[in-house]
Amino acid sequence: MKKRVILSLTMAGALSLAVLGCGKNEVQGDGSLFESTDNYVTGDETEGKQNQDKDLNAGSGNDLENDANADTKINTDALINIVSHKVTCEANGDVLAEGSYPEIILSDEFKEKYPKLKIEIDSQNSFWRSFAKDSVSEYAGYKTTDEIDTGYPYTSEAAAEVLRADDRIFTVYESKYDYSGGAHPNHWGSTLNIDPVTGKHLEFQDVLKDTKKTAEAMKEVLYETYPDMTDEFDSFIYCAEGQTVADAFEDTIYNDTFTWALLPEGLKVFFSPYEIASYAAGEFEILLPYDKYPDLVQTAYVPVDSFDKEKMVAVSEGFAEQVEVSIPEEFSAITVPNKSWSSYTEDGRGMDDGEHVTISKISEEKTDWLDTEVWADKNGFEVASLPYSDDKYIYEGYNPMEYEYMNCGLKIYDAATNLLLYDLDLYTLCNGPDEETDTYSATTQYIRWAKIYDGTLYVSVGHNGYASVEPKSSYIVAIAPDTGYVLWRSEPLVSNANNFQIVKDTIICGYGFTAEDDFIYLLDRFTGQRMDKIKVNSGPDQFEVSGDTLYVATYNTAYEFKIE
């Protein structure tokens, strides 16, 4: 179950992801896309056509809607359909909570050309749907128990708009409106920028020539566009000691928490309330035209043609869903505390007490970019991500923060019976405050990987971005899963890969990020102390062990090591 306080805590961080956007931005249609009903077919009529490639992603967002989509009209002339679905929760004839979520349906032509994009969009559809249904159900529960009656339903609405769709980038702008009691609603916007060929999400720095120049230009255009707000910006935008606003913007670029899009007219950046100014100030947006700022965006990502949204995108209303009231209960998860942002150990054991391993390189195969999916398929592995299961347990993240994978809660089930064994709330551990200094993380940290080994739970925690944004990140903690007691916390900047491995009494993990140093680390599993580090060509993505061989996928190199 989500906590209502999570959104508020997330939004309070200066220059975090654009988690608030003033105004209730709905996807609007003016009817011009639907001149003739001859262009429509229902979900039943398109079941074979629109959903013919279910095998690409079983359980995808589109596949979940086969029955309900029978009443949804699809414009077959459009390459992209955006369908808005309503969700309501009623009791005794009263609407307690309501909401909506988008579903993006790609045409056969688009799906055949970009199969990995289809998989990513279906995954996003599934997340939107489940998040909306869970939120409306929970908000209805809050409505029944809150002492003050607002007189209108609680709300969780989401809408999507496609801003760009070509061979280089598929851009979706999502707007959210959320109210579950309190002084005012929450509004925010975010963009998904996906490489349609690989299905990978592009980070802001990936498309830029020069992050420093971009940050300076953004500050310049922002202050020129809103001259009456400069004092507000200066007082609200968080700058570390000795930093300028442009420096703070560059840090945020590295952390990939700006809401941005590369449109035909230029680079557009959206700012939501609380991001660079107070809630009352509203939302802001700036445009940096390519002709005026030719040295910011890599030429390969500058759109060649304009995006004809009227011809390519159709917007329609979909089916409505009813959900049951979820009466809120006392949060049952065990809260894992944050004793200190510094490394420590409390179990009293030393490194010499264990049986450790070393590794020696057998081979390396370097390329411009290593596709982890291809590497995994070649070697018989699965791409590492939560949720996953091993021989004994199923590990499932929950309480997503800014993106669906940024989970701060962890549920662990028995793999044989599906019985829930452990429910741990790691929000405080990931983001603070700690007990020593009462400080929070400068950016959102989340669970990257987790594994129980010999009765102890090991969890990798980190953020997306440079160490300069949050140097006390990318560490491993050892936890007693039945109590939430933290046995030790490793030094930071040792683990930001998708997973880690435990062999004997050694944790094999790795850290690297763009311009930072890239290493494999060997940690003692009883103390978290570093025993060795091995330089690699680029940041580690995934570790796999087969027999006495360690396979490592980094950004641009496939390694094999002998475990000794």
State the DSSP string of 480-540. ETTTTEEEEEPPSSS--SS--EEETTEEEEEE--TTS--EEEEEETTT--EEEEEE-SS-E
pLDDT score, position 348: 56
**pLDDT value for 146:** 77
Please report the pLDDT score of residue 347 as a whole number.
61
Residue 322 has phi, psi (to 5 degrees) of -105, 140
State residue 328's pLDDT score: 63
The pLDDT tens digits along the chain (564 residues) read 333 333 333 333 333 333 222 333 333 333 222 233 334 343 333 333 333 333 333 333 444 444 444 456 788 889 999 999 999 999 888 999 999 999 999 999 999 999 999 999 999 999 999 999 999 998 998 888 777 777 889 999 999 999 999 999 999 999 999 988 776 788 889 999 999 999 999 999 999 999 999 999 999 999 999 999 999 999 888 887 788 999 999 988 988 889 999 999 999 999 998 889 888 888 999 999 999 999 999 999 999 988 888 889 999 999 899 999 987 655 478 999 999 999 998 765 556 667 899 999 999 999 999 999 999 999 999 999 999 999 899 999 998 887 888 999 999 998 888 888 999 999 999 999 999 999 999 999 999 999 999 999 999 999 988 888 899 999 999 999 999 999 999 999 999 999 999 999 999 999 998 888 999 999 999 999 999 999 999 999 999 999 999 999 999 999 999 999
From 4, 264, 22, 260, select the one nearest 146 (Cα to Cα).
4
For residue 59 the two structure tokens come to 């359980």
CB-based burial, 160-191: b 16+ in 10 Å, e otherwise: bbbbbbeebbbbbbbbbbbbbeeeebbbbbbb
DSSP run (H or E) holding 561: strand 557-563
The answer to whether the bond into 387 is cis (omega within 30° of 0) is: yes
Give the list of residues 6+ apart from residue 411 with CB closer than 8 angstroms, or none. Answer: 395, 396, 397, 398, 420, 422, 423, 424
The span from the CA of 73 to the CA of 52, in Å, is 17
Instruction: State the pTM of this model.
Output: 0.55
Whose CA is closest to 22, among 192, 225, 175?
A: 175
Q: Which residues pair with 193 in a beta bridge?
A: 171
pLDDT recorded at residue 50: 36
Q: Tokens at residue 280, please?
A: 């009352």
| Domains, the chain, with CATH or none | 4-322 (3.30.565.40), 334-563 (2.40.128.630)
The backbone region for 369, taken as left when phi is positive above 0, alpha when psi lies in -120 to 50, beta otherwise, is: beta
